[in-house]
Amino acid sequence: MPSIGSNHFSLEPWTRLFTHPGFVNSLKATLVSGIGATLLSLSITFLLFAVSYQTRFWKLLNQTLAPLLAIPHAAFAIGFLFLVSPSGWILRLVSPDLTGFDIPPDWNITRDAWGFSLMLVLVLKEVPFLVLMSLGALGQLDVKRSLAIGRSLGYHRVLVWVKIILPQLYPRIRLSLFAILAYSLSVVDIAQIIGPTVPPTLAVQVFRWFNDPDLVSRLLGASGATLILLLVVGAIAILYLLELALRWLLKRQVTRGNRHFHVFFPNLLSKLFIITLVGTSLAAITVLLIWSFTWRWRFPDLFPGSWSLRFWGKGLMQVQDPIWNTVKTGITSSLLGVFLVIGCLENELRLQRAGKHTNTPTMLWLTYLPLLIPQIAFLFGVQVTLAAFRLDGHWPSLVWSHLLFVIPYVFLSLGPVYRSYDQRMTDVALTLCGSPWRVFYRIKLPMLLKPILFAFAIGFSVSVAQYLPTLFMGAGRFDTITTEAVNLASGSDRRIVAVYALCQLLTPLLIFLSALLIPRFVFRNRREMQG
């Protein structure tokens, strides 16, 4: 573990860390964007469920959920940057008519020092994830009937959510929430694109130290990474305490009996948020598209002055290798991931039926460990270990490192569905044909085709989005579309960056589309399989 000085223990890297110029601001930005994003995402998710569940706006959210999740973080951040920055599309929309700007203003909207724009991007990406996880968890609660009972007792629908359903939901999404917390506090790729620049967030700073040719910085990086880990642990502890406090408060409130609720304001907020979420994502993609075809686009024109296919041409040529790497790694790690997870779940089933004890909670925590520990904190250590065995820089190591992160997400997405599969189907099928293998691949797998393909698509997009593992494990030898896109985003030509970002976007999108369309086609004549 880091903290070992050149050849002996020393606190020196820590003192240098704390006295590094800009440390306090880095810390501030990290905490604001990290904890702020998590709490905000949670509140918004709860708001959405309590107020808009099953309304028309909900249907909009539901339909766009999968595509929203499929947009890789980096591409979204880049699109957001092109949208919201002082020379971005939104300002071009209102200039010069409303604002009188002829040249981009010198505002600090994106890349602001407190990390607010970073926080915003994180929230926009994390809410769909949290909604997805919550939907899975809600399947275990009888939402319809709980609502009916609560309302028949006189409580407004929203209050039934707040007092009855959400308290039961929270423990089930706790793990996902902690994963989001760890991610937000330690994200590097998005922070590089849209986070503060001088000083950057802690995670970015640590990353720079790790990449500094001056080897002494590695020690600084190690202590920084450990600090981030401690921050995550501390934040999780705070969330736990917060939960206890809120539960205590809720108990006191719940028995008071107040049933009335004015829905107008929260309703508006909730609708606004859904619109913003969907709208921003669409706008971000559109602006990327526009930039990729641009030749010349002066501020404050609404659209480019001249168009060109040149950058697509150039980009597609340059992007072939990275895309091939990305797809190769993605498909392999995702296939392996799905394979392993199904094996795990089947094994769990077998143990349960034999009445043996399955240590599911422990397994759960173990599987999710890579999500809870900030990547930057342990990847360096892993790389050092691998390098000692000369294993880094090989493609299998890269796949393995992606697998570490693909598995938890595949598990998260496939687990609930797999477990709620009606086992009686298997029982009946066994009595009919007697061969467990046949039952498995002729009955169970086809019935679960859609969730399995979906989990594969999620695994694939997780692999595509991996930035740090590719850099560390690949020892710089593998370029993926993500590493290229992030590297280009911090400077250069918006046009070529847009092409790269769109490529990063399209890759998982295609897989998601197939995941949606293949089952629909295969089962086109089966009504019950359309669910």
Partner 1 sequence: MLKLQAVQIIHNKEPLFPPLSIDIKPGEIASIMGPSGCGKSTLLSAISGNLADVFSLEGDVQLNDHSVLPLPMEKRRIGILFQDDLLFPHMSIAENLAFALPQALLKSERQEKIAEALKQAGLSDFEKRDPGTLSGGQRARVSLLRSLLAEPKALLLDEPFSKLDQELKDQIRTFVFDTVRRMNIPALLVSHDVRDCPEGQVINLAKQEG
Binding residues for partner 1 (CB under 8 A): 142, 145-146, 148-149, 151-157, 163-164, 167-168, 251, 254-259
**What is the distance of C-alpha 425 from the center of its chain?**
34
CB of 343 to partner 1, least distance (A): 32
Nearer to partner 1, 86 or 167 (CB): 167
Compute the residue count for the chain. 531
Nearer to partner 1, 142 or 212 (CB): 142
The single-letter code of the amino acid at 151 is: R
CB of 241 to partner 1, least distance (A): 18
Phi, psi of 294 (to 5 degrees): -85, 145
| 423 contact partners, CB below 8 Å, separation of at least 6 | 349
Distance (Å) of CA 156 to CA 7, 166, 247, 249, 356:
65, 14, 20, 19, 45
DSSP, collapsed to helix, strand or coil, labels residue 113 as coil
Nearer to partner 1, 164 or 377 (CB): 164
| 347 contact partners, CB below 8 Å, separation of at least 6 | none
Nearer to partner 1, 208 or 259 (CB): 259
CB 405 within 8 A of CB 370: yes
CB of 493 to partner 1, least distance (A): 51
Nearer to partner 1, 58 or 395 (CB): 58
Secondary structure of 140-152 in HEC code, one letter for each residue: CCCHHHHHHHHHH
DSSP, collapsed to helix, strand or coil, labels residue 392 as coil
Nearer to partner 1, 52 or 325 (CB): 52
- Helical H runs in 187-215? 189-194, 202-211
| 464 contact partners, CB below 8 Å, separation of at least 6 | 72, 326, 330, 480, 481, 482, 504, 507, 508
CB of 253 to partner 1, least distance (A): 11
Nearer to partner 1, 240 or 339 (CB): 240
CB of 364 to partner 1, least distance (A): 20
- From the list 366, 394, 30, 29, the residue with the least C-alpha distance to 182 is 30
- From the list 357, 270, 294, the residue with the least C-alpha distance to 502 is 294
Nearer to partner 1, 149 or 198 (CB): 149
Nearer to partner 1, 64 or 168 (CB): 168
- From the list 76, 81, 499, 80, the residue with the least C-alpha distance to 292 is 499
CB of 60 to partner 1, least distance (A): 16
CB of 523 to partner 1, least distance (A): 24
CB of 80 to partner 1, least distance (A): 36
CB of 35 to partner 1, least distance (A): 26
Residue 307 parent element (H or E): strand 306-307
